[in-house]
Chain A
Amino acid sequence: VNDDEAQQLARARAGDGRAFEELLSPLVDPAFRLAMTMLKDRSAAEDVVQESALKAWRHLDRHRAQRSLRPWFLAIVANECRNVRRGRWWSVQRLAEVALGAAREDRWADRMDLDAALDRLPRHHLEVLSLYYHLDLPIDEVARVLGCSEGAARQRIHRALAALRPGMTLEVDG
């Protein structure tokens, strides 16, 4: 982190709400985009980002001072998305989605509908693709959000691509 961010972090840890807001402001957009990609529901995404912001604010003392806030905060968002997806509501929804997905399998096969393929993609794959290709995070930050090594993060991106579309090969930097 640069000096400015470090000072803001220090102030935020001391309870300065304005400093925390300034730190959080540029992170709201990627957080919301990640949540939307994961949940495909605006209300749920807003709730997740708000809940994540509160948790980050509450537990800011747990964040390592010398590290950027972005991957830490996005990791909270990703966790919240997983928690939502583990919820009962999502269980109901998932069954409905699966039935829908099965019905349009032929369409996907014929037209290579990428969006439909993303719908059918397991969410841990969707998460890593969103972090890397959508939010354009560098591989080290993807790894920190996922809580794994950079090598493991690259491996997960490759697996997600393979699951998304057999034969799809994209370069993974780093």
Chain B
Amino acid sequence: VTPEENELRRALELRSGTPSAEFRSRLTQSLGTRPAPPNLMPAVAFATAVVLTLTSVGILVAAGQLGRTRGAASGARVVSPISNATVIQLSTPSTNVAWALADHAHLYRSTDLGISWNQRSMPSDSGTKSVVSFIDDHEGWLLAPGSPTTHCQAGPADIWHTVDAGTTWARLGTQGIASSQCKNGIWFFDSRHGVVVAWDEVHAATIYRTFDGGKTWAATKLLPDPPNYQSAQGGVGYQVAWMKGFGANLYLGAAGTPYIYRSTDGGASWKWFTKVGSPETVMVTETRWLDLTVPGQAMESVNGGQQFHQYVSDFTTNSPGTTQFLFADARVGYATTGGSVQQTLDGGQHWVTVIPPEGRVITPSPSPSVSPSSIPMPTTVDLSAPSSSVVWALVAGQYLFRSTDQGNTWQRRTMPEFKAGGAAKAHITFVNDQDGWVFFVVETADCTTYQATPTRKSIPEGVQVYRTTDGAATWTLVDSAVQGQVSAGGLPLEQCKTAFDFSDPQHGLVGTTDLVSSYMWRTSDGGVTWTQAELPHPAGWVPGNDRPYSIKSSGGTEVVYAPGDVFESTDGGATWARVGGYPPPLVIVSPTRWLVIFPGSTSETLDAGKTWHDLPTDYHTDSTGFELFVFATDKVGYGTDLGKVMRTLDGGAHWELIKTSWP
């Protein structure tokens, strides 16, 4: 063992970790019942259809679609989009983790920055207007208020605790919490320290603290009145709207007022701290506060609310009602207005809608009218190179460019608009400098959430296919998978669409997966109707393999790379056979010539992977991945590198950087 090897092992170990006992326990629980294998799905679908027949003819249509989905019969986790909620309460314990309580009744967890949401169980009795507080992705508390008396003079409540993400809940009771006043908020700062707040219409709010994880509670002094404010019966009769902790320093905002209180002793005593411009002012950090209430007139403080200055933010909302802001860390924050939630990843400057989750816009919806002077780098580039001279580039998911001179000069072209509402990712494929397609696809985390469930109605469309025949001057919608309308031959709403290619103006392929099997959909009428074929499972097949990644059409042969297998069809995509394989990254140049391109060393096979040899290359990149390579011919190819474009004219030996910024 050399010192360098030791150093490498140590560095790898530092990145790693060991599974916790709690995780092992959860894992064992999740394996308690063997998940239904995929081949049970038709039976499940049939049973589902029978049940649904008895209830609703309308739902039966959707159940039929379930039968079409050879998707995973879900084991422990089912992504359940939140839709049609009228009120959502969030708890954001860390950067990636967010909990959403919809309509006080349905609990969801996201561990991927709000992109996908898994529904979790609620306690058996969650009261009338329950609220939650979580300290990580598994441990949290739920306050379950009962029906209050008039003016909230008295209000029963219960408190529940979970350590397994809602799989099980333990009733803690409310020892130490008086029956007087309505209980309306709960915040925990770690596994032991938490706060419950109570209020009524004529008294100051009461704050209860716990030091033992919620088993026992003790009331603190009533909140004092702010200066020049005297309530009739000894205190301010408003609710605590929010609470945020920074070590021993706790802050709270009084609902509907600009008053903010601070405690420097962990919540034992509270003092009026400051008055801000808006009740919706949010503490991003202890010193950085934002007031985004008025569009175009956002304000920022960097000294704990003492002074505010103008701030540029694109936050706006069309939803009625008050907006509640909440930051998970200095960059990741959420704004909840009624049943909609927006998210920022840059500390409040830019906001996108994440709930309903289909509203998530990673790359903003394309708008042909926008003509940016420059596109921020790094960015993403999707390429289509139909011939030795023509190459198309979709930059940042929304700006389309065409070059007819091997990438030396580029012209901006128009993009169609995704008109189904919400968000979709765009993919391009062209067969020359005039004919091409844009596929807008709605992505979900598990590729199976389009199943016929009541939540399905929140997904307006799974795919839209646009076609141009005039060099992307105009676009025509030729196919779409629309909720509630199962077209005879159209692309399915279900399945993730991951690879796209047209070989001529009529014939094209789309690769899809439900993460159990992968499928190739083919069209022979320019994308209007589609027919499905399933990719075979090769010997030694491993679940998760074979998500179609790239398609290459050449001389009547179609080749699909689905890491790490290569499949081939010689009948236009009707039947497929595995012809070889290699772990990613593999670039299919032609049916027999494949490349594995690494900086400084490239491997080449000329016999479909049977034999390999080194190909001397000067390819170099400083990036950490995301490279995309497409070859128009055996010689002419392009590669992307976080928005930059490289070109080779000799089959991959020599590369030159031809595009470093857009336009």
With a cutoff of 8 Å between Cβ atoms, the chain B residues found around residue A46 in the complex are: 19, 23, 26
Are A82 and B112 touching (Cβ within 8 A)? no
> A21: which of B28, B77, B544, B547 is its contact (CB, 8 Å)?
B28
Are B584 and A82 touching (Cβ within 8 A)? yes
Q: Is residue B318 within 8 Å, beta carbon to beta carbon, of the partner chain?
A: no
List B residues 12-36 near A (Cβ within 8 Å). 12-19, 23-24, 26-28, 30-36
CB-CB nearest in chain A for B498: A86
List A residues 103-132 near B (Cβ within 8 Å). 105, 114-115, 118-124, 129-130
List B residues 554-596 near A (Cβ within 8 Å). 563-564, 581-585
> B24: which of A28, A58, A89 is its contact (CB, 8 Å)?
A28
With a cutoff of 8 Å between Cβ atoms, the chain A residues found around residue B38 in the complex are: 58
Are A17 and B33 touching (Cβ within 8 A)? yes
Are A87 and B445 touching (Cβ within 8 A)? yes
Are B75 and A130 touching (Cβ within 8 A)? no
With a cutoff of 8 Å between Cβ atoms, the chain B residues found around residue A92 in the complex are: 113, 345, 362
Stretch among B1-9, B200-208, B231-239, B650-658 lining the A interface: B1-9
With A92-B113, A159-B598 already in contact, 16 other A-B pairs whose C-beta atoms are closer than 8 Å:
A20-B34, A40-B15, A43-B97, A49-B23, A50-B30, A50-B77, A53-B30, A53-B31, A58-B543, A89-B96, A95-B379, A118-B11, A129-B8, A130-B12, A163-B600, A168-B4
Are A36 and B15 touching (Cβ within 8 A)? yes
Among B23, B425, B547, B622, the most chain A Cβ lie within 10 Å of the Cβ of: B23
Contact with B along A64-80 (1 / 0, CB 8 A): 10000000100110011
> A133: which of B9, B18, B36, B111 is its contact (CB, 8 Å)?
B9
With a cutoff of 8 Å between Cβ atoms, the chain A residues found around residue B13 in the complex are: 134
With a cutoff of 8 Å between Cβ atoms, the chain B residues found around residue A87 in the complex are: 112, 115, 445
Complex A-B: 9 CB contacts under 8 Å = A17-B31, A20-B31, A33-B16, A87-B445, A96-B345, A118-B12, A124-B583, A156-B583, A162-B601
With a cutoff of 8 Å between Cβ atoms, the chain B residues found around residue A94 in the complex are: 624-626
With a cutoff of 8 Å between Cβ atoms, the chain B residues found around residue A54 in the complex are: 30-31, 35, 75-76
Tell me the bound Cα distance from A168 to B4 in angstroms.
Answer: 8
Stretch among B254-262, B309-317, B427-435, B534-542 lining the A interface: B534-542
Q: Is residue B176 within 8 Å, beta carbon to beta carbon, of the partner chain?
A: no
- A57 and B583 contact, Cβ closer than 8 Å, known pairs A28-B24, A170-B4: no
Q: Give the distance to chain A from B270, nearest Cβ to Cβ, in Å.
A: 34
Query: How many residues on chain A are close to B (CB under 8 Å)?
Result: 82
- A83 and B547 contact, Cβ closer than 8 Å, known pairs A40-B15, A43-B97: yes
CB-CB nearest in chain A for B443: A88
Classify the interface of chain A: helix, strand, loop or mixed. helix
Minimum-distance CB pairs A-B, first 6:
A79-B544, A54-B75, A55-B543, A134-B12, A89-B112, A32-B19
Are B15 and A118 touching (Cβ within 8 A)? yes
Tell me the bound Cα distance from A76 to B443 in angstroms.
Answer: 22
Are B624 and A122 touching (Cβ within 8 A)? yes
Q: Is residue B37 within 8 Å, beta carbon to beta carbon, of the partner chain?
A: yes
Binding site for A on B (CB under 8 A): 2, 4-5, 7-9, 11-19, 23-24, 26-28, 30-38, 72, 75-77, 96-97, 111-113, 115, 137, 345, 360, 362, 378-380, 425, 443, 445, 515, 537, 540-545, 547, 563-564, 581-585, 598-601, 603, 612, 622-626, 642
Are A163 and B599 touching (Cβ within 8 A)? yes
- A162 and B34 contact, Cβ closer than 8 Å, known pairs A41-B96, A43-B111, A119-B624: no
With a cutoff of 8 Å between Cβ atoms, the chain B residues found around residue A64 in the complex are: 540
- A42 and B564 contact, Cβ closer than 8 Å, known pairs A62-B541, A119-B624, A148-B583: no
Q: Is residue A56 within 8 Å, beta carbon to beta carbon, of the partner chain?
A: yes
Are B37 and A59 touching (Cβ within 8 A)? yes
Are A115 and B27 touching (Cβ within 8 A)? no
Q: Is residue A6 within 8 Å, beta carbon to beta carbon, of the partner chain?
A: no
With a cutoff of 8 Å between Cβ atoms, the chain A residues found around residue B113 in the complex are: 89, 92
Tell me the bound Cα distance from A133 to B4 in angstroms.
Answer: 11
List A residues 12-60 near B (Cβ within 8 Å). 15, 17, 20-21, 24, 28-29, 32-33, 36-37, 40-47, 49-59
Are A15 and B34 touching (Cβ within 8 A)? yes
With a cutoff of 8 Å between Cβ atoms, the chain B residues found around residue A138 in the complex are: none
> A83: which of B115, B362, B540, B544 is its contact (CB, 8 Å)?
B544
Are A53 and B27 touching (Cβ within 8 A)? yes
Q: Give the distance to chain B from A24, nearest Cβ to Cβ, in Å.
A: 7
With a cutoff of 8 Å between Cβ atoms, the chain A residues found around residue B30 in the complex are: 50, 53-54
Are A33 and B17 touching (Cβ within 8 A)? yes
With a cutoff of 8 Å between Cβ atoms, the chain A residues found around residue B445 in the complex are: 87
CB-CB nearest in chain B for A47: B111
Tell me the bound Cα distance from A44 to B445 in angstroms.
Answer: 13
CB-CB nearest in chain A for B37: A58
With a cutoff of 8 Å between Cβ atoms, the chain B residues found around residue A124 in the complex are: 583-585
With a cutoff of 8 Å between Cβ atoms, the chain B residues found around residue A37 in the complex are: 12, 15-16
- A55 and B583 contact, Cβ closer than 8 Å, known pairs A41-B96, A95-B378: no
Q: Give the distance to chain B from A55, nearest Cβ to Cβ, in Å.
A: 4
Q: Is residue A1 within 8 Å, beta carbon to beta carbon, of the partner chain?
A: no
With a cutoff of 8 Å between Cβ atoms, the chain B residues found around residue A168 in the complex are: 4
With a cutoff of 8 Å between Cβ atoms, the chain B residues found around residue A120 in the complex are: 624
Tell me the bound Cα distance from A114 to B625 in angstroms.
Answer: 18
Are B542 and A76 touching (Cβ within 8 A)? yes
Are B564 and A29 touching (Cβ within 8 A)? no
Q: Give the distance to chain B from A150, nearest Cβ to Cβ, in Å.
A: 13
